[in-house]
Structure 1
Amino acid sequence: MNIAIDGPAGAGKSSIAKIVAKKLSFIYLDTGAMYRTTAYYFLKNGLNPSDKELVESKCDDINIEIKYEDGAQQVYLNGENVSTEIRNEEVGNNASVVAAYGKVREKLVSLQQSIAKSNDVIMDGRDIGTVVLPDAELKIYLTASSKERASRRFKELTEKGVACDFDKIEQDIIARDEQDMNREISPLKQADDAVLVDSSYMTIDEVVNRILELTEERR
C-alpha cells in the first residue's frame, strides 16, 4: 500500500508521516530530503543552484541513497551521511530551486517510484499524489496557515538555540509556496482525489489519527 502526503513547506508533513509510518510499519520516504541533498551538493561545492544548465549537467555526479539505521532514515550523498547538514534554511530554500529542473525531478522520481513498487510506503513532498504516486491508495493534502507554519518553525529553531526572526521565516515560507505552486514542472497542488487536512488548529495526534482512520477505510 502507498500513502501520498503533499503540502506546502512547514505543514508538518515529515513529522506526521514518520509517526504514521511507525504505527503502520510502513517505510517512510522523505522526498524533500532528496531535493535538499541535491541542493546541498551544489552549495557545498561552491556552485550556483540557480544555474539550471549547470545543475542538469552535474546530475549524474550526484548519488543519493536512503538508508534506515536504528529505525531512522539517513540520507547519504556520494557515500557521506548528510542527514544533519541538509536541514538548514539555506539548503531548504535552494531545494525548491533545483526541484523545478526537469532532469533533477526525472532522476529522483524514478528512485522514489522504484522504492514504492516493492514496499508499503508513506511518502511526502509536493507532487507525490499528482506525479510520483498517482495510483496511491490514499492521498492527503496537508496544509496550515503561513503564520502557523512560521510559528512552528520559529519554535523549532529557538529550541535548538538558533537565533531567528519570525517575520523573515514567514516571508521565506510564503516565497517558497509561491515558487512551489508556480513552477513549470510538477507544481504543488492538491490531487483531485486527495483528502484535505488543515492542521492549523489540530494537534499532531489529531492529524495522525485522522490519517490512520482514512488508511483503515482504504484497506
Structure 2
Amino acid sequence: MNLKKYNVGALKYVRPKFISTLSGNVLFSPSIPNEIIADADTTRFDKSGLRRDHRNVLSKAVPYKTPHTWIHATEKYQRKLYGLYGNNSNVDPKICFDSVIDRAKLDKLDRIAQPYNLQQLREIVNTQEANKLELIKARENGLRIKLNKLEQWKSELTTKIAKREAAAQEAKERKERMVEEVRRHFGFKVDPRDERFKEMLQLKEKEGKRKDKEAKRKAKEDMMVAKLVEKMP
C-alpha cells in the first residue's frame, strides 16, 4: 500500500483526524483507511507521557512480559500477579500453594507458638475460671465469717481499751502515792528533782514491784491449791 499518499509520518500534526488514548490505541478519523492505522506506529501518537508498564497497569494488563528486576522473580510478586491477572499473568497457579517443606516449617512454628490444641485450650480456660470462682467463694465466706464476728471483736476491743486505761490510771495513782510517801518520809516538801528524792522514789518503786510479785505468786498458789482440793475425792 502506498503510504506516501497519506503521509503517515505527518499524522501527529493532524489533530482533528485522531484521538490518542492512555492505552496506546489511537482512534483515527473515518477518513483514514484501516490499513494505514494498522501499519502506523501508534506509540508515536501517545501524548500521555506514561511508560509502557504504566499504560499496561491502567489497561489492566500484565505490566511486564519479562522480569526487569530480581523482585519480579520472587514468589511473593508471582503470587500477586496471579491474584491480579489470573491466567493472563502466565504464572503457574501452584506457586500460590505452600510446598511440603514450607508446610512442615509452618507446622513446626505453629507447634512452638501454640503447643495446645483447641480442646486443650478450652480445658485450661475452664480450669482457670473454676479456680477464680473458688477463690471468690472462699473470699466471700471469709468476709461472711468476719462480719459475724464483728460485734464480738468490737466488744473485745472495748474491754481491752478499758483494761489499758484502768492499768494506766492505777499506775498513775500508785506513783502519786509513792511520791506522797517519800515526802512524808522526809517530813518536809522536797523538790522531785532532788537526788535524795529520786533515790527514795526508786526504793519505793522496787518495794512496790516486790509486793506485786508476792501478791501474784500467792494468788497463783491459792489457785493451785483450790484445783487440788477440787480433784480430791
Where on the TM-score scale, by shorter chain, does this alignment land: which range? under 0.3
Question: TM-score with structure 1 length normalisation?
Answer: 0.21
- Provide TM-score, normalisation by structure 2: 0.20
Relative contact order, higher structure (CA 8 A, sep 6+) = 1
Who wins on radius of gyration, i.e. which is larger?
Answer: 2
User: 1 or 2, which has the higher helix percentage?
Assistant: 2
